[in-house]
Amino acid sequence: MKQAITAAKMQRSKPAYWLAGALMSALAGSAQAELEFSGKIDLEARVFTEDASRNNQEDTNASVLIEPQWVWFSEDQQHLLQFKPMLRIDQNDDERTHGDIREAYWIYTQDNWEVRSGLRKEFWGVTEFQHLVDVINQTDLVENISGEEKLGQPMINLSIAMDSGIWDFYLLPGFRERTFASTDGRPSLPLNISDDAQYESSAKQLHTDLAIRWSQSYDWLDLTLSAFHGTNREPLLQASLENGTPVLVPYYEQMTQVGATAQAIWLDWLFKLEMIHRDSKSESFAALHTGFEYTLYGIMDTDTDLGLIVEYGWDERGKDASSTMQNDLFGGLRFALNDEEGTEILAGLGRDMDYDGHIFSIEASRRLNNWWKLSGEARIIDASDSRDPMHSLRNDDYLQVTISRYF
């Protein structure tokens, strides 16, 4: 079997494994309490419909994901411990064959406040096709190019509920580098990513970041304001040579970001907005992503609901943006059959208004019974302009089927 976790990967994951060890010790110390155990095993198969860009890449790929979970509650329900590791074994990509601690945290609850400490995931976004404001967790790009998969972030989070809203304060000790597929895997960038990442901060991975977030819900409106200062989760990729071989070296800047989100409900309409302003040593810019979803309930006298989604992404940097959504329009359809099997389908089409590129995606899932679930996914990328950030993935259209066994 291919080497699952290299020394470099272990080095990048040190904060995760330190926290995991501490929480496992706490679980062991609570052996007299009853633990809830669950999890899943995924069998995944991908077929790429276009010829590969490189001779070393395959047109098919298979992988296995194992993801157990342990949860412990104290008798008074004031303490919670959760531990969720994962292991993926991939047929072709050494980088995608990896293990990780997804979550390993402790929560202590009082009447109007909570402390959450450990390795956690914290989602801040509201829009469908891009999450500008979501800045706490690092993207696990080797898992899926959608950017939806995240690495757990070491944190101490104090959450206080007041009449003025919910206030969350974050102390984020330790940083986790973004994961990338190797050039043997698909989809992937045209060059290998160096394991020797560079940092603006002299503390490198040990830099402590800070964040604050306010949220408030009204009858028809949800609002949030947030601020973050620390290591940018999105690295600059700088071309270099390692032993005479061209590589891309990730460079992580320090940055400050302020953001806001809004969701408004009116009849069958849901309006969404995310916007940010970000400052770093290399640039300062604003960006927004906004749109709406209109739901048709019980279409054609059935139990099926149909959501019509339209969104637009704008970035002040225009064609100089590192984002792939600097001037992009999106349309989508969301089907919820509301059947016993929980069948759902989400299809979306995005158009880059600057480069005339397109990306189509569809995701579907259906439970087979209480233990088995079948999921499918397809992504088709049309990016013929060499200046388009998606150009390197133009030959990596794929179809994916996943069967999951829950326990």
Residue with tokens 């990730």: 250
pLDDT of residue 57: 93
Q: Is residue 1 part of a domain?
A: no
Q: Is residue 329 part of a domain?
A: yes
User: What one-letter code names the amino acid at 249?
Assistant: V
Q: Which DSSP state fits 139?
A: B
Are the C-beta atoms of residues 161 and 200 closer than 8 Å to each other?
no
First-to-last C-alpha distance (Å) of the chain? 26
Q: What is the mean pLDDT of residues 6-33?
A: 52
For residue 211, what pLDDT band results from cuts at 50, 70 and 90? very high
Burial 123-149 (b: 16+ CB within 10 A, else e): ebbbbbbbbbbbbbbbbbbbbebeeeb
pLDDT of residue 24: 54
Q: Is residue 62 part of a domain?
A: yes
Structure tokens of 240? 């270099």
pLDDT of residue 22: 55
Residue with tokens 């999951």: 404
Residue with tokens 């739901």: 295
Q: What is the mean pLDDT of residues 192-208?
A: 96
Average pLDDT, the chain: 92
pLDDT of residue 14: 57
Per-residue pLDDT tens for 345-402?
999 999 999 999 999 999 999 999 999 999 999 999 999 998 898 998 999 999 999 9
pLDDT of residue 55: 87
Q: Is residue 2 part of a domain?
A: no
Per-residue pLDDT tens for 254-312?
999 999 999 999 999 999 999 999 999 999 999 999 999 999 999 999 999 999 999 99
Cα–Cα distance for residue pair 390/253, rounded to 1 Å? 23
Indicate whether 202 pLDDT > 60. Answer: yes
Q: Is 83 helix (H, G, I), strand (E, B) or coil?
A: strand
Q: What is the tally of structural domains in the chain?
A: 1
Are the C-beta atoms of residues 335 and 305 closer than 8 Å to each other?
yes
Q: Which DSSP state fits 395?
A: T
Q: Is residue 353 part of a domain?
A: yes
CATH number, position 374: 2.40.160.10
User: What one-letter code names the amino acid at 364?
Assistant: A
Q: Is residue 374 part of a domain?
A: yes
Kindly report the pTM of this predicted structure: 0.89
Indicate whether 21 pLDDT > 70. Answer: no
H/E segment holding residue 265: strand 254-266
What residues does 119 pair with on adjacent strands? 104, 154
Q: Is residue 356 part of a domain?
A: yes
Structure tokens of 243? 């032993």
Q: What is the mean pLDDT of residues 5-12?
A: 47
Q: Is residue 308 part of a domain?
A: yes
Q: Helices in 6-79 by DSSP H: which ranges?
A: 7-12, 14-29
Least confident interval from 88-92, 116-120, 127-131, 321-325 = 321-325
What is the per-residue DSSP string for 182-225? Answer: -TTSSS--SSEEPS--EESSTTGGGPEEEEEEEEEE-SSEEEEE
What residues does 305 pair with on adjacent strands? 336
User: Quick one: which of 119, 149, 156 has its CA closest to 131?
Assistant: 149
H/E segment holding residue 372: strand 372-382
User: Which domain, by its residues, includes 142?
Assistant: 7-406
User: Quick one: which of 78, 82, 49, 42 has its CA closest to 63?
Assistant: 42
Cα–Cα distance for residue pair 173/153, rounded to 1 Å? 9
Indicate whether 194 pLDDT > 80. Answer: yes
CA–centroid distance for 120 within its chain: 13
Measure Cα distances from 338 to 128, 297, 298, 342, 348 in Å.
Answer: 20, 11, 10, 6, 20
